Amino acid sequence: MSETVTEREVMEYDVIIVGAGPSGLACAIRLKQLKPDLMVAVIEKSAEVGAHILSGAVIEPGPLDELLPGWRDNPPPVCVPVERDELSYLTATSKRKLPTPPQQKNHGNFIVSLGALCAWLAPQAEAVGVDIFPGYAASGIFYTVDNAVGGVIIGDMGVDRDGQPKDTYMQGIEIHAPLTVLAEGCRGHLSKQLISKYELDKESDPQCYGVGIKELWQVDAGKCKPGLVQHSIGWPLDKSTYGGSFIYHLDKDRVAVGFVTALDYSDPEFSPFEAFQQFKHHPEIKPLFEGGEILSGGARTIIEGGSQSLPRVDMPGALLIGDAAGLLNLPKIKGTHQAIRSGMLAAVHIADKGSADGFDAALRSSPVMKELHKVRNIRPGFNKGLWRGLITAGIETITAGKLPRTLHNHADHSSLRNLSDTKTIDRHWVKRDLAPRDRLASVYFAATEHDEDQPVHLQILEPDICITRCGEEYNHPCTRFCPANVYEIVEDEQADAGIRLQINAANCVHCKTCDIKDPYQIINWVTPEGGSGPNYQNL
């Protein structure tokens, strides 16, 4: 496409924030509160703010109180105070209640839709003078001559599958700013490039992740108990896989149900989507959903590495905040309060210092980090299985993380076992009859949309490996770990091996599982045309 490349149009701002999630919006609002004259822009790849956000979500309100003291008088549209917590251990046929660990006590917290919360925050940011641009993906970094981050490049629009401009072609612009804040959430596409370019993770453990799949249900009248927060561990996961379920009871007979599986699972035949659907069919769970209807659904990865895996969060001209940095508190399964807090902290730093320099130290000496440090050994404790993990969790909780030891994390993509070393695990999975029937049916509830005539945004760096090595070693795990059925192995007489990998990119819900879990690290998720992707409603 070289003949069409002309000088890009440029817009200038004082601060450009990538991602209108809780961290990005909190940073933008606090910046304008501190320095009303700063020009602040927020770029968001979803067509509307909140449409790519999927979370639980039970949130701790403290940081929101700090950001917007009057928010409780004008609450977001979905906001139910937590009434009661319940934690259970499941086997395939039974459910046993466990005492709720202190991290999971939710008194004073609220059940919200984080997508709806962000859509509610956005106009408040605009009211203080922030420019928000939904429908535009930041596809690249603009570097200054000194090799510092100098802003972002917005993706071109109207490019066909082969990279040629269509009639509607519109060249993306550059947004230049002395400071760029990466608030892309878990496994950010630009954050990943920057972490690697500036070797920000040189001194930290590899990052680790989970994938969360969620549905919002309208259940039969009388079944929903507003304010009830339920979690489970155990079945349908085997004891060596970390994860569990959540069921949050909202208002108006709406119930959010989801399942999070750590992406360091080892069985190549495992399917996180199937595990979630199986969970819904547990004899103690299924009655809640029978007769109900799915309102919306989708998937998103969750960052689990905590303090050991936290990369350096500043670099020349840019900072990382929220889940783009990796600040989620896993034992609490909460990242929103940390995202908002880190966004505000970044704003204070920028307003004070006017540069990224020193933000890493500021964050590490803040309450954000203190909270992560306390729980640092809980997640890696589960690397030795469920029971030993629970014991570690107990010890670390009682001692508030004060024991002078730090357990380590390993990379998720290296954890799959070869087919030849894998025994088939009997998971006691049942025949399902609740919706959705399969992943294609489930994508429908994500209302995901990509123009088919655009470059495939899932780049396979070495396609040969897929057909040969990966088939033999792992039997194409991408066809199972993707919750949206994007990857399919199809027969093809023209191909040498008689099969080929088909990528149904239009189904992608931007969860980023493939970018993380693919065992050879040859799948690269890049931003599709701005405005493409899921259109989540109240997730």
Partner 1 sequence: MKILVGIKRVVDYNVRIRIKPDGSGVDTDGVKMSINPFDEIALEEALRIREAGMAEEVIVVSLGDNACQQQLRTGLAMGADRAIQVGAPASLQPLTIARAFMEVINREKPGLVLLGKQAIDGDNSQTAQMLAALWDRPQATFASKMSLEEDIATVTREVDAGLETIEVDLPAVISVDLRLNEPRFVKLPDIMKAKRKPLDVLSLDDLGVSIENDIQFKHHEPPPVREKGIMVEDAAQLVAELKNRGLV
Question: What does the binding site for partner 1 look like in residue numbers (CB under 8 A)?
Answer: 9, 11, 47-48, 51, 77-78, 113, 115-116, 119, 131, 133, 135-136, 154, 157-158, 167-168, 170, 173, 175, 218, 253, 295, 444-445, 447, 449, 535, 537-538
Per-residue x/- mask for ligand FAD, residues 327 to 366, rule CB under 6 A? -x----xxxxx-x---------------------------
- Using the structure block, give the residue that is written with the tokens 């690269």: 524
Question: Residue 130 in contact with residue 41, Cβ under 8 Å?
Answer: yes
d(CA 109, CA 336): 12
SS3 content of the chain, % helix, strand, coil (to 5): 30, 25, 45
**Total residue count of the chain as it appears in this document:** 539
Radius of gyration of the chain (CA): 22
Please tell me whether residue 374 binds ligand SF4 under the rule CB under 6 A. Answer: no
CA distances 86 to 194, 218, 226, 392, Å, are: 41, 21, 13, 21
Question: Residue 349 in contact with residue 365, Cβ under 8 Å?
Answer: no
d(CA 338, CA 335): 5
Which residue number, 88 or 448, has a Cβ lying nearer to ligand SF4?
Answer: 448
**Binding-site partner at residue 59 among partner 1, ligand SF4, ligand FAD, none, CB < 5 to 8 Å by type:** ligand FAD
Q: Is 511 labeled as catalytic in the residue annotation?
A: yes
Question: Residue 530 in contact with residue 45, Cβ under 8 Å?
Answer: yes
Which residue number, 201 or 449, has a Cβ lying nearer to partner 1?
Answer: 449
Which residue number, 32 or 510, has a Cβ lying nearer to ligand SF4?
Answer: 510
Q: Which stretch binds ligand SF4 (CB under 6 A): 41-49, 124-132, 466-474, 478-486?
A: 478-486
Q: Is 470 labeled as catalytic in the residue annotation?
A: no
Please tell me whether residue 509 binds ligand SF4 under the rule CB under 6 A. Answer: yes
**Binding-site partner at residue 131 among partner 1, ligand SF4, ligand FAD, none, CB < 5 to 8 Å by type:** partner 1
Return the SS3 of 485: coil
DSSP string covering 412-434: GGG-PPPGGG-PPP--------S
Please tell me whether residue 46 binds ligand SF4 under the rule CB under 6 A. Answer: no
d(CA 460, CA 447): 25
Question: Residue 27 in contact with residue 172, Cβ under 8 Å?
Answer: no
Q: Is 72 labeled as catalytic in the residue annotation?
A: no
Q: Which stretch binds ligand FAD (CB under 6 A): 20-28, 166-174, 290-298, 308-316?
A: 20-28
Q: Which of 13, 16, 30, 52 binds ligand FAD (CB under 6 A)?
A: 52
| Residues 315-334 close enough to bind ligand FAD by CB under 6 A | 322-324, 328, 333-334
Q: Which stretch binds ligand FAD (CB under 6 A): 50-58, 276-284, 312-320, 360-368?
A: 50-58
Least CB distance from residue 149 to ligand FAD, whole Å?
13
> Phi/psi class of residue 261: alpha, beta or left (left: φ > 0; alpha: ψ in -120 to 50)?
beta
Which residue number, 167 or 421, has a Cβ lying nearer to partner 1?
Answer: 167
| Residue 534 phi, psi (nearest 5) | -65, 160
Question: Residue 376 in contact with residue 306, Cβ under 8 Å?
Answer: yes
Beta strand pairing status for 209-218 and 40-44? unpaired
Give the residue numbers marked as catalytic.
Answer: 55, 300, 336, 482, 508, 511, 514
Task: Give the footprint of ligand FAD on this chain (CB under 6 A).
Answer: 18-24, 43-46, 52-59, 114, 137-138, 183-186, 188-190, 212, 214, 258, 260, 300, 302, 322-324, 328, 333-337, 339, 527
Task: Give the footprint of ligand SF4 on this chain (CB under 6 A).
Answer: 458, 482-484, 486, 508-514, 525
